[in-house]
Structure 1
Amino acid sequence: NTYDPPRRFDQLTERGGNPALRRSGADAARLAPAADLADAGRRAISAVAHAHQDLWAAQGRQAQLLAAAGLGAESLRLLDQRVRAGDAPALDATRFRLDDARLQADLRQAEADRQDLQRQLGLLIGAGTVATQLQAQAVDLSADTRAAAPMSAVAVEAAATAAERRPDVVAALARLAVAEAARNLAAAAGTRDVSVGLQFDRWPTSATNSSGTGNTVSLSLTVPLFVRHAFEGELARAEADGSVAREALRRVRDNAGTELARSAAQVGAAQDRRRLVLDQLGPAAEKGAAGAELAYRRGASSALELLDARRSLRVVRIERITADAELAKALADWQAATVPIAMNPLP
């Protein structure tokens, strides 16, 4: 063999900042799914908080109905004794029995509602097989300063600033960064990259070529001409992708602002509702029921008046439970709308 294969080395020198653009696009593309995962967690936590409070309220309603049924049964037992002794009309006992029948129907519905909410919570937390054993614990609203503090404009403004770091907004920003990096990369593709090559050729002596041709060193410089092609299509597509990403970011920010305003309004309404029950409805119902019990024992009121007072008190107590649950859910929604969830970086 009178010919040795050539040795060639080429070095491409990219211009236009292509390597940095690819790295920035890759970093943004890596951040977007992590933010999506964090946003899914944010929404899941809010859903679990709602399911937990709904179950707690259902447990409270059932407990109030059980207490009312127990009180009604005891009252009916005592009233039957008075009826047999001729000390009370039989019509009163009939009214108590009708009220007890309504309570039993309400109890069966409350039990069905509680079981349904247990199953819903079990599905959300992955405990479907033991859903019937789930018991919700009360949220201590007295220890939460947000439960009574009014939603000031300063707090809403600060929350709006914090909402910019929400995972869904971060994901949309990351996708916009990916699109902008792709657009810049498409624009940079029109910059001519230079390729420098060095080649070594050797033709040694042989039986047929005693002198050989010696060694040859070649240096080459390659520059693309871009004749009739300047990556216009790639650039147009990247511009379109950037417009789509900017529109998606605008929608996400609008949704975040709407969710923030709705959460603030819900917190304010829930605070007012709970305050009304605590300050006005609750004391009035307790006082009215106590007076009705005393008046009935002394024969100054009818069984119908007593049952109405007990029913009103039961409704107000259930309303207190519902108001607490609604405020806890509103606070959970407010936190989900404003507080970003820490994102674990992908490996």
Structure 2
Amino acid sequence: DPYFSGTKIAWILDNVDGVRARAERGELVFGTVDTWLIWQLTGGRVHATDATNAARTLIYNIHDNAWDAALCAHLNIPLSLLPEVKDSADEFGETDPELFGRAIPITGVAGDQQAATVGQACFKPGMVKSTYGTGCFALMNTGKTPVRSRNRMLTTIAYRLNGETTYALEGSIFIAGAAVQWLRDGLGLIENAGDTQSLAERADPNQEVYLVPAFVGLGAPYWDADARGALFGLTRNTGPKEIARAVLQSVGYQTSDLIEAMHADWPDAGRPVLRVDGGMTASDWTMQFLADILGAPVDRPTVAETTALGAAWLAGFKAGIWPGPEAFSAEWKLEKRFEPHLQESDRSRLLTGWQDAVRRTRSTQD
């Protein structure tokens, strides 16, 4: 899938004039966004990343914690391009003194969703968080042993502290909050993102409209880059209220796909409480539907921006000014819990309708 870095590096090397020759002469380096930021902040003195970002490139061996020579050879990527891989809380050099008036140590680096996992204090195996921004990303801590997914989840690294790796199952949904933006900017049905909740609350309960927001393809567990979005169940009575409700419900349905796949991969984890964060979690209606369609409690913390919180904790932990994981976990605070109220028969009917809509949208059938 074009989501990952490895095939993009290979394409650039194979298709941009002069790039491969320069790479082989050691004139070029590669990095994900964090690597580029570190390079810029340190004045080009440090070429590094952390294990969570490296795990997202398609060319990092998450079991050996090293760049995978076989994968790099398969994609014809020189190992000399790649950054040094460090712990998530580690010494990444110091910023150029001219930037901020003095040198500041860089001690915390993590991928977006891994940082949110840390910020949600999901340090125990089986804990799950889901972040709702432009897209949606669910991640389950699986402990010190990687769980190999049989259901198209990503087996990945949650974080690496003091040289010890904690693994995770992750599912990526490409369109969540972006569908609300589409209602506002594309269709002009709303003026503000918050308008969707009031519309959804007033939607006709007898209409079951489904939006499959495959605007840029479908992510996990389908990985169908050629699928495109569609609305199903439209009648002449369908209007902005029903479409707004379908947009919000699509977030719950897609999350359910991820949680079900994770449960199938690791049934020992049971049905854990889902910790949520990100801009869309401000909508009580959306979070209640999420709890209903999952059939499990959904916890919204007092700090919604947990990605920033997790990155800050990693930096503070390495600097010795923030407590360890156990003490940090004790500081996590619940703002509101959403308990499921939907009858199981209704939940099953809605999910069957969703799965039929996805099937009709797919470009290929499994």
TM-score, normalising length from structure 1? Answer: 0.21
Higher relative contact order (CA closer than 8 Å, sequence separation 6+): 1
Of Structure 1 and Structure 2, which has the larger fraction of its residues in helix? 1
Structure 1 or 2, whichever has the larger Rg, is: 1
